[in-house]
């Protein structure tokens, strides 16, 4: 092991982790997993049936899966966006049932990622988690707190598979209402073969300030290929949900096609924060959609680093009067990475407001494209939308396109759009360096300043991790 | 004792592919303990001189030399020059959102220190507060984004704040008086004067004699057409106030 500044800290954490691991695993609610089971490579209707059977699902879910599979076969790949021809859909494994023991050992993780972890000073506990271990040990205290709150207020917070077993009517009532299988090829694929993901139900009026974090769902599948997440926020309730991990998430699977549906009822508030940093073999093709009813607010906070190709355009359907939707995103694309992301704001009721702030950094030949839609339907009188795209290109080889689509079918609405693509400002760089900062340090500070509006919206530990990661990404960007 | 020497310095800028000479053989020697002032009309090369000494890449040295303690600094990057002791209070410092003033100044201070001598936040902030107080700047200036939304006067004070925190050996102050009201001018001048001493030298660039009532220079130079046309004591500045620059440098 390399000696890093954090080596000592890591040793301590590892020691604590060992102690906590026993306690955590005993205290945590266990999902009763069967031994490893795999449907092999490729996909057909029998495999879809086998998945449903292995999970002991109700008949309606099997039918959902089968009709989605038919839809998947009918649909073609998206007619826009990055090249997906490298995606070999026939040789993938669509379902493997994990055990609640680590499925991978640290020894199996590629050396390049291990080096990355060392450079980052990722604590040992987190490394074990990333390597496939099931629990985030240090979270025990927070977990207990969350668990108490969850039980006290009647919040349901569990894995999607568990929710389907325990609350089948609730799941059925909302299933596919925002993202029908017919929406796109990968939504259809997800619906046919989904596994894992989060189910979160917040009763009316319940306001939880502490962010609910996905990794507190101990023993659930953490980085499933086809996660399905459903969040229902009843009238007047407040929730802040955080998922993801800032450290590179090593995955042997080359496709991740998640579907997320968020229902934000009257005067409710929901924030959904994601940080993703896939390893560079992954196609991340996600469909995330939220509905905001009258007076409700839906906020997406979305950070994307890594992957081979990402296509992700979280949307908010502003379906009730005065609803508000926001998207704040940061994308960092290095060598060989194409991040095609943005947001969709659908103004479908009077006096609705939306804001999209998209920040991106492309370096070493990476590409970050903003692709966003703002639609004002004929019901959107008095509505307002703001779109702001800000990109830094670190070198000549990197690319960025801004592709805004504005559809306006109502004559008393207002919209602002600002887009800026620039290099790192030489005047700013010169100024910082004239105070003694090296070019590398000055560049790092400018990048961190650029990212700051995003980072300050994150829970502290995520902000620290994100900053650390971006700093590391930037070393090597300076020639 | 340190010494900054400008020797027959020729500097050009390139605009639209055309190189134009701005400085045509400037000679100047500044020793620590001294305060020099450069005066002269607009567009005469005063800012070019200060930016060139600092190492702004937009200015090309086409002849001559700049030496710090006998060693040429022409091949040194701007950050190396800064760490070697040079400081430039800029005429138009850029605003940078997302970086706090305190964070930036601490990074600047630490860039001069070895890895095991870095100043932590807890030791840094009291010193910063002291300097803010000295310049009659509110404490929240520390947590604001660097120069973002600062008034003209706040920017100038903030340049002086950085100088006081960094404690450079040579300070070049490029029109530090422009846009200052009389109270701010007095405060800024007091800040500059507090740096005076055997270990510090400064080069003050100004249009107006007014500043030199507050910071009395040891030597006054007049620049015109890219060269220094006259040098003298503080009385030269007063004289210029009466006569203007017109008659100087006429061949």
Instruction: Report d(CA A470, CA A446) in Å as an integer.
Output: 12
Q: Compute the mean pLDDT over every residue in chain B, rounded to the nearest whole number.
A: 93
Q: Do B98 and A431 touch (CB under 8 A)?
A: no
Q: What is the pLDDT of residue B228?
A: 95
CA-based torsion, B182, B183, B188, B192: positive or negative: positive
Instruction: Report d(CA B188, CA A200) in Å as an integer.
Output: 59
A70-104 pLDDT, tens digit per residue, is 999 999 998 898 988 888 888 777 776 544 433 34
Q: What is the DSSP letter of B174?
A: E
Share of chain B above pLDDT 70, in %: 99
B111 three-state secondary structure? coil
Q: What is the pLDDT of residue A310?
A: 93
Write a three-state SS string for A435-451.
CCCCHHHHHHHHHHHHH
- Mean pLDDT of the region A26-41: 45
Is pLDDT above 70 for A258? yes
| ipTM, 2 dp | 0.96
A209-238 pLDDT, tens digit per residue, is 777 776 543 333 334 588 899 999 999 999
Q: Testing the interface with B: which of A422, A425, A429, A433 to mutate, by most B Cβ within 10 A?
A: A433
Judging by beta carbons within 10 Å of its beta carbon (0-12, 13-18, 19+), is residue A237 exposed, middle or buried? buried
Q: Testing the interface with A: which of B47, B85, B107 to mutate, by most A Cβ within 10 A?
A: B107
Judging by beta carbons within 10 Å of its beta carbon (0-12, 13-18, 19+), is residue B204 exposed, middle or buried? buried
- Give the residue extent of every domain in chain A: 425-479
Q: Do B166 and A431 touch (CB under 8 A)?
A: no
Instruction: Report d(CA A165, CA A159) in Å as an integer.
Output: 10
Tell me the chain B residues in contact with residue A425 when contact means C-beta distances shorter than 8 Å: 94
Instruction: Report d(CA A344, CA A405) in Å as an integer.
Output: 9
Q: Which domains does chain B have, with CATH numbers?
A: 3-243 (3.40.50.300)
Q: Compute the mean pLDDT over every residue in chain A, rounded to the nearest whole number.
A: 79
CA nearest A444 in B: which residue? B99
Instruction: Report d(CA B18, CA A172) in Å as an integer.
Output: 72
Out of B79, B94, B97, closest to residue A433 by CB: B79
Tell me the chain B residues in contact with residue A453 when contact means C-beta distances shorter than 8 Å: 98
Q: What is the pLDDT of residue B148?
A: 93
Going by C-alpha positions, the residue among A248, A320, A281 that lies closest to residue A473 is A248
CA nearest B90 in A: which residue? A431
Provide the 10 A C-beta neighbour count for residue A245: 22
Q: Do B98 and A453 touch (CB under 8 A)?
A: yes
Instruction: Report d(CA A350, CA B20) in Å as an integer.
Output: 60
| Residue ranges of chain A whose CB lies within 8 Å of a chain B CB | 425-428, 430-439, 441-442, 445-446, 448-453
Written as six digits, the tokens of B60 are 């090309």
Phi, psi of A176 (to 5 degrees): 70, 10
Instruction: Report d(CA A31, CA A219) in Å as an integer.
Output: 7
Is pLDDT above 70 for B118? yes
| Whether the Cβ atoms of residue A57 and residue A126 lie closer than 8 Å to each other | no
Tell me the chain B residues in contact with residue A390 when contact means C-beta distances shorter than 8 Å: none
Question: pLDDT band at residue A252, thresholds of 50, 70 and 90?
Answer: low
């Amino acid at each position: 092991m390399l000696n890093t500044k954090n080596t000592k800290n890591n040793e301590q954490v590892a020691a604590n982790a060992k102690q906590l691991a026993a306690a955590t695993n005993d205290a945590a609610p266990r999902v009763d997993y069967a031994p490893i089971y795999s449907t092999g490579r490729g996909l057909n209707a029998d495999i879809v049936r086998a998945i449903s059977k292995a999970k002991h699902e109700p008949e309606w879910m099997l039918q959902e899966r089968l009709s989605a599979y038919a839809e998947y076969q009918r649909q073609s790949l998206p007619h826009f966006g990055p090249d997906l021809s490298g995606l070999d859909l026939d040789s993938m494994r669509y379902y493997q049932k994990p055990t609640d023991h680590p499925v991978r050992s640290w020894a199996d993780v590629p050396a390049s990622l291990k080096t990355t972890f060392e450079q980052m000073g990722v604590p040992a506990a987190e490394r074990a988690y990333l390597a496939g271990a099931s629990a985030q040990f240090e979270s025990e205290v927070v977990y207990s707190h969350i668990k108490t709150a969850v039980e006290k207020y009647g919040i349901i917070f569990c894995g999607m598979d568990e929710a389907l077993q325990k609350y089948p009517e609730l799941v059925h009532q909302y299933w596919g209402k925002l993202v029908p299988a017919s929406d796109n090829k990968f939504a259809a694929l997800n619906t046919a073969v989904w596994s894992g993901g989060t189910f979160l139900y917040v009763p009316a009026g319940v306001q939880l300030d502490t962010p609910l974090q996905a990794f507190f769902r101990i023993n659930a599948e953490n980085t499933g290929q086809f996660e399905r997440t459903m969040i229902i926020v009843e009238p007047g309730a407040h929730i802040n949900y955080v998922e993801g991990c800032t450290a590179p998430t090593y995955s042997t699977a080359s496709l991740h096609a998640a579907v997320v549906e968020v229902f934000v009822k009257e005067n409710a508030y929901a924030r959904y924060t994601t940080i993703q940093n896939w390893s560079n073999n992954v196609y991340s093709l996600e469909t995330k959609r939220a509905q905001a009813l009258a007076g409700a607010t839906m906020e997406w906070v979305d950070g994307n680093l890594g992957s081979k190709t990402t296509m992700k355009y979280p949307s908010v359907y502003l379906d009730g009067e005065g609803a508000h939707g926001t998207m704040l995103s940061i994308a960092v694309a290095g060598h060989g990475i194409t991040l095609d992301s943005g947001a969709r704001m659908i103004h479908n009721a009077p006096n609705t407001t939306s804001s999209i702030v998209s920040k991106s950094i492309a370096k070493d030949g990476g590409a970050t494209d903003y692709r966003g839609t703002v639609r004002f339907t004929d019901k959107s009188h008095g509505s307002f939308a703001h779109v702001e795209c800000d990109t830094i290109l670190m070198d000549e080889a990197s690319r960025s396109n801004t592709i805004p689509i504005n559809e306006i079918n109502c004559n008393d609405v207002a919209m602002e759009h600002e887009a800026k693509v620039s290099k790192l400002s030489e005047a700013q760089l010169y100024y910082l360096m004239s105070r003694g900062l090296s070019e590398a340090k000055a560049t790092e500070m400018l990048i961190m300043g650029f990212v700051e509006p995003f980072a300050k919206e994150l829970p502290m530990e995520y902000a620290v991790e994100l900053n650390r990661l971006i700093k590391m990404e930037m070393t090597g960007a300076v020639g | 004792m340190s010494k900054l020497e400008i020797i027959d310095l020729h500097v050009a800028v390139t605009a639209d592919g055309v190189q134009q000479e701005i400085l045509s053989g400037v000679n100047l020697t500044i020793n620590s303990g001294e305060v020099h002032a450069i005066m002269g009309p607009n567009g005469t090369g005063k800012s070019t001189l200060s930016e060139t000494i600092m190492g702004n890449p937009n200015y090309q040295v086409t002849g001559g030399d700049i030496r710090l303690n006998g060693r040429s600094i022409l091949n040194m990057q701007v950050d190396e020059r800064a760490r070697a002791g040079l400081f430039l209070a800029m005429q138009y410092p850029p605003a940078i959102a997302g970086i706090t003033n305190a964070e930036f100044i601490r990074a600047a201070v630490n860039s001069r220190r070895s890895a095991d001598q870095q100043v932590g936040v807890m030791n840094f902030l009291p010193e910063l507060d002291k300097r803010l107080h000295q310049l009659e700047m509110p404490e929240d200036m520390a947590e604001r984004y660097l120069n973002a939304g600062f008034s003209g006067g706040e920017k100038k004070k903030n340049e002086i704040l950085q100088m006081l925190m960094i404690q450079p050996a040579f300070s070049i102050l490029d029109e530090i008086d422009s846009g200052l009201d009389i109270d701010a001018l007095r405060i800024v001048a007091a800040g500059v004067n507090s740096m005076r001493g055997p270990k510090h030298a400064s080069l003050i660039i100004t249009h107006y004699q007014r500043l030199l009532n507050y910071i009395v220079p040891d030597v006054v130079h007049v620049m015109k057409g890219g060269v220094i046309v006259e040098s003298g004591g503080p009385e030269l500045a007063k004289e210029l106030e009466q006569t203007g620059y017109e008659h100087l440098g006429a061949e």
